[in-house]
Copies of this chain bind each other. A is one copy, B any other.
Amino acid sequence: MAKARGEEGGGEVEREEASSGRLHGAIARSLGAAIVSGKHQPGDVLTNEIEASERLQVSRSAYREAIRILAAKGLVESRPKTGTRVSPRARWRLLDPEVLSWFFESEPSESFLQELYELRMIVEPAAAALAAKRRDEGQLERMRAALVTMQHETLVTEAGQAADRDFHDAVLEATANGPLFTLSSSIGAAVRWTTIFKQRGRGLARDPMPEHWKVFDAIAAGRKDQAREAMERLVTLALEDTRASLKA
C-alpha cells in the first residue's frame, strides 16, 4: 500500500497546510469543501467507506474519523446499508468556523456573503451596545491597540486586516455573552471578505478609521445607544463600499 503512493491519477487527499495537519482533518477538509462548494449536493450518497478509503489511499479508520467530523458539523449523515449521504443544507452548521473556512476555500457566492452581512448588521450594533455597558479596562485596551495598529498598517497589509478583525472580536468579547461571542468567527469571516472585495475595486479607498474610532469612543464612554448607532453606521458604510467595488 505504501509503495502505491502517488499512483492512480485522481484521488490523493491534500496534505499540505499546517492547520488540518492530521490525516483525518485533511480528509474532512477536502470532503467538507467539496460539499459546501456544491460538488456533492444534499441527498447525494458518498461512495462507501471501503472504496473511498482505497481511492484516497488511506486507511478506513482515518476516513471514518473524517466522516465523524463532517457528521458532527451536520454536513453528512451515516446509516448502515444506506451509506453516508450529504444532509440538507438546513442542517449544516453554517456558523462553525471550520465550515465557514471551507466555504471560503473557493470563492463564496455573493448571496452567501450578503447573508453573512445581514447577520453582521443584526449582531454587531447590539453587541456594541452591550459592550458599552460591560467592557472592562483590558478589553478597552485591546480595542484601542487594535485600532492603533489598524491605523498604522492600513487595510492593505495582513497585519492591518488582522487588527480590524481583532477589534470586532474584542467588541464581541466585551459583551460577556458566551453564545454571542461564538459568532465572532462568522463576523470575522464577513469582515475579511468585505475587505477583500473592497480591495479589488481599489478606486478611492475611503479611510475606515473615523467610524471605528467613533464606535470605540462610545464604548469607552459607556454610551450604549451611541455605540449601537456608531456600529450601525460602520457596518452600513462597509456595505456601501463593498457594493461600490462590486459594480466597478
A contact set with B: CB distance below 8 Å: 24, 28, 61, 64-65, 68-69, 71-73, 89-90, 92-96, 98, 112, 115-116, 118-119, 122-123, 126-127, 130, 173, 175, 177-183, 186
* Main secondary structure on A side of the interface with B: helix
Cβ-neighbour of A181 out of B72, B90, B116, B127 (below 8 A)? B90
Contact present for B94 and A93 (CB under 8 Å): no
26 contacts between A and B (CB under 8 A): A64-B65, A65-B65, A65-B68, A68-B69, A69-B69, A69-B72, A72-B72, A72-B73, A89-B178, A90-B173, A90-B181, A93-B93, A94-B182, A95-B95, A95-B183, A96-B96, A112-B178, A115-B180, A116-B179, A118-B130, A118-B180, A119-B177, A119-B179, A122-B123, A122-B127, A179-B186
- Measured between beta carbons, the chain B residues less than 8 angstroms from A98 are 72
Cβ-neighbour of A182 out of B64, B92, B127 (below 8 A)? B92
